[in-house]
Structure 1
């Protein structure tokens, strides 16, 4: 009997120990926040180096230019981050970024003026762009969730299909003479700052709130951590996955709209190769490829760091043909530093 009492006592103490430890020492929450901030020192160092390389670097005009050119691909990073958190991936985002505004331009640009059909008024351009993005997301979600196909293969196939469709409807040429509705978001300024920057920051702020303070955000992490346990806990996993995949494609379409507006055109190769930078920014920012880990602040820090590095290299006069190789090297170094300072965030 005494032995039974002694063996029963320690488990009781063990069950009481974790809660105080989690609350007093912080548990996973402070560690996660430290990982989110892991890239901040690197960003500060790059800012200092950039100022040394060129006094232009910290000028407001240059910083605004960096943020504006970053804003379009940052929306792809936002979309991919949500998808990675639920342990999926979408390689077709870069093609959606080109196809969605490409189809809109094809339908609204006048015949002979910019290689379009001119069958819809210009005011329809934005709704058509977002609708095409949503349709791509629905197809992806249907194949991945409803039919249980491998998400990597499905979105790889969609990337190729969508790229081919854009090349087909455009004839390999660039759509130009876009209507004002397609140009507005890429060219307008709100309070002296490009609208695309405001949109990017606002969407990231919304994503930070949703992931950090809502049950829907918590369900994303739960699904990424263990989908079976999430189902057992009553989470409608399929519905959450549908929402994440479709919203991701709509964000990619919006990113394409911002880029098209800034460039006043839609090229047949728009978005080509962007997915590599998107994954690099997400992983550097602490997003796990195995799902269930990461934050929007970390993802934003990752893409900001990459674009700051590119800007510093450009200002330093590094030949364009070497920037790609240096970017790859910097990504590897930053990834190693992120892992060292932020723990096993990439596993």
Structure 2
């Protein structure tokens, strides 16, 4: 009862911060706000992109195989972005997310090359991901290193470990049975898509429907207030990074399975898309709060833009440009929302980091 009352106080405080008006919004106004560009901009952007490329390159863009391929291709990116939502919701920048995917990919490939069974390989890889998350969390809460610096350093260490394990070379011939994990299909949809849905549902349920999720959001919203309300903020930060590490390692396992190869260079390619999707997703549905479904939708909206431009003959650097602009747009929208009185998750995270640097 005491814990629930503490969390109620935190939720009420956050609500007052985001919605300063004491009057309850009318149903018509709530519907207007829910359908506004500000709340579901990703859906409006998707509609605009769909119309644009349907007219520009209809023969390829509207082909069913194109959409099935995009659904499969982006499942691992979306899984990585969902894992990133957890520590971001707790107020932690995890710049090691790409390197964690790389470690999961190369470690699973190396374990298979040592003739370990697939179940043991996957289990050990997930345990390694949890250990990385634990070590990162302890650097932040015990050594009191800012999360931006701590995870940047961990990322460099993980890249070195990845190169050491693989000797800088690809690990080949992982076997058809292992490849089936990521390339096998059920009802015409590949396994990673189903895995993404299951993980997204689990993370959404924990964050939105459980006391643990409220503690995560409270820690990310106002660390001092959460601590005063009885939340064990250090434990929350560590557990959020452990969960992130496990999911990122699973994503790495699926990468090596899809490629049938352990590639030490794949990790950095997941960093920018994951952050762009998580930040853009925070502007959707939940009024400036990091959330799972906004992030998943943001992944596929960005992928739609990139795929359309590629089909239209755009150069190979378009994905980096598109994701970078999306990241800048998301942060710009967050700052603007903060200036107009609705505090966003990104703005709170940036303010918290500036406060920690000044302390």
Give the TM-score band, short-chain normalised: 0.7 to 0.9
In the alignment, is the contact (CA less than 8 A) between 1:185 and 1:257 conserved in 2? no
Corresponding residue for 1:22? 24
- 2:40 corresponds, among 14, 37, 56, to 37
Residue 239, structure 1, aligned to residue 235, structure 2: yes
Corresponding residue for 1:65? 69
**Pair member with larger Rg:** 1
Query: Structure 1: where are the runs of 5+ without partners?
Result: 1-17, 110-117
Corresponding residue for 1:153? 149
Corresponding residue for 2:180? 184
Answer with 151-160 or 180-189: which moved more: 180-189
- 1:335–1:316 Cα change, 3 Å: farther
- 1:239–1:195 Cα change, 3 Å: same
Deviation by residue 1:17-49 (Cα, 9 ceiling, x = unmatched): x99833756999996886552211111111122
- 1:29–1:45 Cα change, 3 Å: closer
- 1:246–1:181 Cα change, 3 Å: farther
Deviation by residue 1:106-147 (Cα, 9 ceiling, x = unmatched): 1321xxxxxxxx253444221122111111111111211232
CA separation in 2, counterparts of 1:33 and 1:124? 47
- 1:333–1:146 Cα change, 3 Å: closer
- 1:196 corresponds, among 172, 192, 196, to 192
Give the structure-1-normalised TM-score.
Answer: 0.82
CA separation in 2, counterparts of 1:148 and 1:181? 44
The CA RMSD measured in Å over matched residues stands at 3.0
Corresponding residue for 2:169? 173
Shift of 1:260: 1.4
- 1:131–1:154 Cα change, 3 Å: same
Shift of 1:98: 1.0
In the alignment, is the contact (CA less than 8 A) between 1:80 and 1:278 conserved in 2? yes
Answer with 250-259 or 317-326: which moved more: 317-326
In the alignment, is the contact (CA less than 8 A) between 1:91 and 1:155 conserved in 2? yes
- 1:83 corresponds, among 70, 87, 91, to 87
In the alignment, is the contact (CA less than 8 A) between 1:85 and 1:287 conserved in 2? no
Query: Structure 2: where are the runs of 5+ without partners?
Result: 1-19, 348-359
Give the structure-2-normalised TM-score.
Answer: 0.79
Corresponding residue for 2:100? 96
CA separation in 2, counterparts of 1:228 and 1:338? 22
